[in-house]
Structure 1
Amino acid sequence: MKFIIDNWYLIFVALASGSMLLWPVLKNASGGSLTPARAVQLINREKAVVIDVCETEEFAAGHVGGAKNVPLGQLEERLPTVVKNKALPVVLVCASGARANRAVAIAKKLGYDNAQAMAGGLKAWREASLPVEKA
């Protein structure tokens, strides 16, 4: 007990550093976000389908290579025709990631259990120096 009282600051520093190390792990576990590198692995290894939920003009300005454009407002109606196999992984992308996160909820409601939003959207894709196509 004397050790704890005499070295409280060391214990505090150990707990603070441990919590800082765990924060990113806990943050990503709850968000379910997908990194661009992991998205590439899903595309190459598991034949994931990339759906860009941006508006048509944004999609034409630049998008992930091979992505199919289904604007967020039309996702519920058009996703079943674009991705017929609900077992395939679906990577949802938008400019920043906000619309893609909303799209995940819609996709899961439609039965696409492997739907994931790419964290950071097209911006993160570009920052990772991955190829962008223009229509």
Structure 2
Amino acid sequence: MSATPNFFVDNWIWILAAASSGGLLLWQQIREGGGGGLTPTLAVQMMNKEKAQVIDVCEPAEFAAGHVPGSKNIPLAQIGEAKGLPGNKQTPLIVVCASGMRAGRAAAQLKKLGYDNAQVLQGGMKSWREAQMPVERSQAKA
């Protein structure tokens, strides 16, 4: 006789609760721009210690409304063209967008282009602002 079938029958409610909890955590990670990525604090450390360049993949109007100081605006649709990216593909890149979703796609494209040190700012500009980091504004390009 095996105790395994009785365990699942006797504890189905706890198994269901654990599965539901895990599913909700996974959904939250997907909705907020994926698991992983850099926190704003780690991004600042990379900028200061490793001279990481910040690439903002928002559209120009979004970028003008507020971005990480010193960041370069290359909209997601233009990432594949590699215009404006550092010539040295070993340069650490911090990829930013409004929430982290576009930045994740951009980082994947950058890695295909050979920029292996491309990382996403977890939660995008939303998390940057929530961490009370400085935000720069500029005029949108026509």
TM-score, length basis structure 1: 0.76
RMSD: 2.3
> What is the SS of the residue equivalent to 2:88?
coil
Q: How does 1:110-129 map to 2 (within 5 A)?
A: 110-129=113-132
Task: Quote the Cα distance in structure 2 between the aligned partners of 1:125 and 1:83.
Answer: 23
Q: Give the Å deviation of 1:78.
A: 3.0
Q: Give the Å deviation of 1:44.
A: 0.3
Which blocks of at least 5 consecutive residues in structure 2 are unaligned? 1-13
105, 116, 120: which one aligns with 1:102: 105
Structure 1 consecutive aligned stretches of length 4 or more whose deviation exceeds 4 Å: none
Structure 1 residues 44-93: Cα deviation after superposition (integer angstroms, max 9, x where no partner): 000000000000000000000000000000011035x4211111110000
Q: Give the Å deviation of 1:31.
A: 3.3
Equivalent residue pairs, number: 115
Matched, 1:61 2:65: yes
> What is the SS of the residue equivalent to 2:95?
strand
Where is the helix percentage greater, Structure 1 or Structure 2? 1
Matched, 1:77 2:81: yes
Contact 1:65 1:131 in 2 (8 A): yes
Match of 2:35 in 1: 31
Q: How does 1:43-58 map to 2 (within 5 A)?
A: 43-58=47-62
Q: Give the Å deviation of 1:128.
A: 0.5
Contact 1:52 1:93 in 2 (8 A): yes
Task: Quote the Cα distance in structure 1 between the aligned partners of 2:82 and 2:107.
Answer: 14
Same amino acid, percent of matched pairs: 59
